[in-house]
């Protein structure tokens, strides 16, 4: 493939990036071609040595989205980073998506149990409304509410730690797929 075809394919595959980011990347690859031409290589040799533009774009998108997660850890940025890393290879579907679903399940279950414990005093209100109120129910519900607050505090710390750990896992996986481990 010649230089124009390579640059066009790379540009088409990077449409999800901003125009400024895309132009910076394309300028870098233009420089690779210019350096290769100075060394006496043909366009075909240079493009073959650079690799497949679609694979390059997947790697660049994964790196970009992982950088976005570092700047602003939001659910949307994490999801985009997960999908970008999964896009690096079919094997990542199992290696990335499985742990992601498991972690999301653990976090949702923890927050749901904390919320259920915190809202347990509402059961006392229901008992009062139907006429089967006992003083023991009130104290038990207040104890459960206190336990729920402690669970929520723990889940806040656990959610933060799991998010940071999973982002590190995504970076490790992306670097492993892109070039293997560097010793």
With a CB cutoff of 8 Å and minimum separation 6, the contacts of 92 are 85, 86, 173, 177
Q: Is residue 41 part of a domain?
A: yes
Quick one: average pLDDT of 97-122? Answer: 93
Q: Looking at mean pLDDT, say which of 29-38, 44-53, 137-146 comes out highest.
A: 137-146
| Domain presence at residue 150 | yes
Same domain membership, residue 132 and residue 175? yes
Confidence grade of residue 153 (pLDDT, cut at 50, 70, 90)? very high
- Tell me if 67 is assigned to some domain: no
> pLDDT tens for residues 36-59?
888 888 878 888 888 888 888 888
Which residue segment(s) compose the domain that 42 sits in?
Answer: 1-51
Same domain (yes/no): 13, 103: no
Number of domains in the chain: 2
Residue 60 lies in a domain: no
Residues 165 and 99 in one domain: yes
Let me know whether 87 and 168 are in one domain. Answer: yes
**Torsion on CA atoms 49, 12, 26, 47, rounded to nearest 10:** 20
């Amino acid at each position: 493939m010649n230089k124009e075809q390579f640059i066009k394919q790379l540009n088409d595959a990077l449409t999800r990036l901003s125009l400024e980011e895309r132009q910076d990347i394309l300028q870098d690859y233009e420089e690779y071609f210019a350096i290769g031409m100075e060394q006496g290589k043909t366009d075909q040799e240079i493009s073959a040595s650079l690799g497949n533009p679609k694979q390059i774009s997947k790697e660049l998108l994964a790196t970009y989205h992982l950088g976005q997660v570092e700047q602003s850890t939001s659910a949307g940025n994490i999801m985009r980073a997960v999908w970008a890393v999964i896009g690096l290879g079919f094997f990542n579907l199992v290696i990335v998506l499985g742990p992601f679903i498991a972690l999301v399940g653990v976090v949702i279950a923890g927050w749901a149990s904390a919320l259920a414990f915190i809202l347990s005093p509402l059961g006392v209100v229901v008992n009062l409304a139907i006429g089967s109120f006992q003083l023991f129910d009130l104290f038990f519900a207040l104890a459960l509410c206190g336990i729920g607050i402690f669970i929520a505090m723990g889940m806040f710390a656990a959610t933060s730690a799991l998010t940071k750990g999973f982002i590190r896992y995504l970076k490790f996986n992306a670097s492993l797929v892109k070039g293997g481990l560097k010793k």
